[in-house]
Structure 1
C-alpha cells in the first residue's frame, strides 16, 4: 500500500452507469483511529446506505471503498460534491515526503499534520410562529438541508396556538457568523413557514445562555421508572426492541471472534439484518472500544442480511486474546446491533410523551438525523407536537442522547394507536420501508 501521487484525489467518486446501481466512493489518505466511523457517519448524514464496503490499512495509510445507494424507495438528488468536501475534511493531512513520525512536531508546526478541529461555534435560533401540522419537521428539514446541526432544542406551544422554538445549532460550513449565511437561513425558513412566522433571530450563544437553558431543561422528570422502561432488556408492551421486525433479514445476530486464521489479527465476524446506519453502528462501537481495523469487508444482500468481516487489533497492535474482553465486545455488538436506538411511549398525566434514546460516541457526537426521522414519522401520522426537548443523560456510566416529544390528546391513546406510533417511529429510524 503506497501513498498516492500528487495527481491523485484523496476522495474519488465514480457515479453509477445506470439507475439503481451504486455510486463508488474511494478514500485514500493517512490513517487515524476511528476514521472509518467518521466516514460512515458522514455517509449516514447524507441519507446514503452502504451496500458494500472494503477497507484496509498498514497502520500509516488507509484505503477505503464504499458502494453507496440512496436509502428509501424514491430516488433523491444527492449533493455528491458536498459529500466529497465533507469526507475530505475528515481525512488526515499527509505530511510531505521525508517527514517521519519523529518529525511529527515539525509537521504540526507547519500546519501539515492532522489535528483535532476546534469546537464549532454555537448559535441560538429563535423562531416565533403559529402552530400547524408538521411545523417542527419542516423547520428541521430546512436546517438539515443547510447543514445546520441541532445540538439542543426547546419547543413549546401556548394554548392560543403560538409556538416558541429555541434551537442551539452549529454550522458544518462554519459561516453562520456571517450576515449572508444568517440571511440565507432566515430566507429559507421564511419561505417554508410563510405568514405564520412572526420572529426569526440567529445570535451567538454565550456560555451563560447555554448553561441557563440546560439547567431549565433539567431531566428531573426522567424518573427511575422511565429509565427502567427505556433501557431494560425486557420487552414491554409499549416499548419496541428495535431489530426484532421489519428488517427483512430476520432477527438472528451472530458475532464471533477467531484468532486462528491470522498470525497478527483477530477476526471479528458479524452476521445480522440490515438497518439504517448499520456500518456506522459497528464502526462506532469498534472506535469506542479502541479497537483498530487493519482490514474490513462489508456486504449487504438483497434479502436484507449483512455480513461483516473485520481483521482487528488492540490499540497496542496485538490480537484480542483476553477472553473477558472478547466476551464484552461480542456482547456489546450483539446488544447494540439488535437495538441501536430505544423507543418508548410513557404517560405524562393527560399527555403522552415519546422518548427516543441513542448512545453517544466517546468523542461526544450523537447519531445524525434522529430528530429529523422522529419528526417526519410523527408528521406522517398527523400528530401535533407541542413540546420537544433534546438532552444528554448518563445511564450506568454511558452517555445517551435523549429526545422527548409531547403530543397532547383529548383522550388516552389506545394500545393499538400507541403501537402504531412506536412502530412508525421505529421503522423510520431504522430505514425499514
Structure 2
C-alpha cells in the first residue's frame, strides 16, 4: 500500500484564537530532520509550545503544537515542511547528516536586487519584510545613504520558489515593494549574477580582532555578559542509567524564539540522532525538554569528554543563541549581531528582519548595513554590521539599542 503524499504533513488549525494548532509529520527519518522542520516553523513565525518526537531509526513521527499569527499561510507552511522531509524511498535506512556524503545539488541562483529610493525611517525594515513575505532569502545586503536623502539598497538574494528569473515574479516583487515604499522608488532592477560577481562581493573570511572581541567576549572571559543579554538558568544534564541504548538529555531553561531550533541545530551539527523527545512550556515561560539520543554509530554517549562537550555546547547555545553588541567606531555607532551558521550552511532565519524591526520601533535610522559570513574560531558565523545614523544614535542610549535588539531576536518584546 502506498504512502499518500498528503499524509506526510497534516495540519489541524486551532478552533479558537490563542489556542495552539497541531502539526503532524510522518515520514522517513534522517539526522537533522527536526532542525530543518523547526527552522521552517521559525521562518513562518510559528511559536512551538509543545513537541513530541519518536523514531525507530527508519521512520519518524513528530507532533508540534504551535501558536500562529492570523496571517499564517498554512498551505505554504505545509508545502515547505513536506519539501524538507526525506522521500519515502529513503526509509530503507536512516540518513545521517554528512556534508561530504550528501548528493550534490546545484546551489540556488543568486540575484542582485538594486533598489534606489527616497529614504525615510523604517524603510529598510519595510523592504526586508516584503522580501521575507515573498520567500526571497537575503544572503548579503549593502545599504548606503546619500546626503541628499536617497538610499541605495543592494540585496543578494535567492528565491525559495525558484521563479525570480521570470518576468511575472519580478513584477510581483516590484509591486509589493512599491506598495510598502509608498511611491518612494526611484529605480528598481533584478538581475541574475554569476559566481564571479558573488565571489567579488564576498567579505574577508576573518573579522578584525577588535570586532571579534566586541561580540564574542563571552568566549574570552569567565564572566557572562549582563543578565539582559543572556538567557538565564539554563540547566543541561545527561544520564545513561535510564535506557540500555540511549543517553537521556534533560534541559530546563527559559523560553525564547527559536529555542527548539537552537537545540536541534546543535544536535544536527554533532550528528546526534534523537530517538524520542518531549518539549513543553510550563507557566512562567519555563521550558522542559527530555531527549533520548544516540551517536551516529547507534550507541549511547558514554565518553565523559564527549558528554561534557555536548552539554557545554548546548548550554552555551541556549544562553546566547545570538551575540549582540553596540560599539563606538570613532564618532559613529555600530550595531553588531552574530548568528551561528549550521554545518549545512544554513543560518537562522529572519535575523535581519528582527534587527530592522527593533530599530524601527526605536525610531532609529540606519546609515549603512552589511551582512557577511566569517570564520570565528572554528565556526562560521553570519555577522550583521549596522551603522546607525549619527543624529539618531546619539539620542538613544547605546545600552537601550542593544537590549531592544536582543529582546526582539529572543521574542521577548
TM-score range, shorter chain: over 0.9
- The more displaced of 75-84 and 27-36 is 75-84
Deviation at 1:116, TM superposition (A): 6.4
For residue 190 of structure 1, what is the aligned residue in structure 2? 178
Instruction: Give me the whole-angstrom Cα distance separating, in 1, the residues matched to 2:5 and 2:371.
Output: 45
Residue correspondence of structure 1 range 180-259 to structure 2 within 5 A? 180-214=168-202, 217-218=203-204, 222-233=207-218, 234=221, 242-244=229-231, 251-259=232-240
1:140-176 Cα distance to aligned partner (Å, 9 max, x none): 0000110100000010111112211110001111111
Q: Which residue of 1 aligns with 2:129?
A: 141
Q: Under a length normalisation based on structure 2, what TM-score does the superposition of the two structures give?
A: 0.93
CA contact (8 A) 1:235 1:241 kept: no
- Counterpart mapping for 1:372-383 below 5 A: 372-383=353-364
Name stretches of at least 5 consecutive residues in structure 1 with no aligned partner.
105-113, 245-250
Partner of 2:75: 81
Matched, 1:128 2:108: no
**Aligned pair 1:306/2:306, yes or no?**
no
Q: 2: CA distance between counterparts of 1:6 and 1:363? A: 29
CA distance in 1, matches of 2:329, 2:11: 49
Kindly state the Cα deviation for residue 41 of structure 1 after the two structures are TM-superposed. 0.2
Partners of 1:151 and 1:287 lie apart in 2 by 22
* Aligned-residue offset at 1:226: 2.2
C-alpha contact (below 8 Å) 1:124/1:202 kept by paired residues: yes
Q: Give the counterpart of 2:46 among 42, 45, 48.
A: 48
Q: TM-score, length-normalised on structure 1?
A: 0.89
CA distance in 1, matches of 2:256, 2:305: 28
CA–CA distance in structure 2, aligned partners of residues 162 and 38 of structure 1: 39
Structure-2 residue corresponding to 1:169 = 157
Map 1:242-281 onto structure 2 (within 5 A). Answer: 242-244=229-231, 251-281=232-262
Q: What is the CA–CA distance in structure 1 between the aligned matches of 2:410 and 2:88, rounded to whole Å?
A: 36
1:320-371, Cα deviation, whole Å (9 max, x unpaired): 0111010000001111100111000111121100000011000000100000
Measure, in 2, the Cα distance between the counterparts of 1:213 and 1:299: 43
**Corresponding residue number in structure 2 for 1:20:** 18
Question: How many corresponding residue pairs?
Answer: 405
Asked whether the equivalents of residues 27 and 59 of structure 2 are also in contact (C-alpha less than 8 Å), the reply is yes
Instruction: Supply the distance in 1 between the matched residues of 2:6 and 2:113 (Cα, whole angstroms).
Output: 41
State the secondary structure of the residue aligned to 1:65: strand
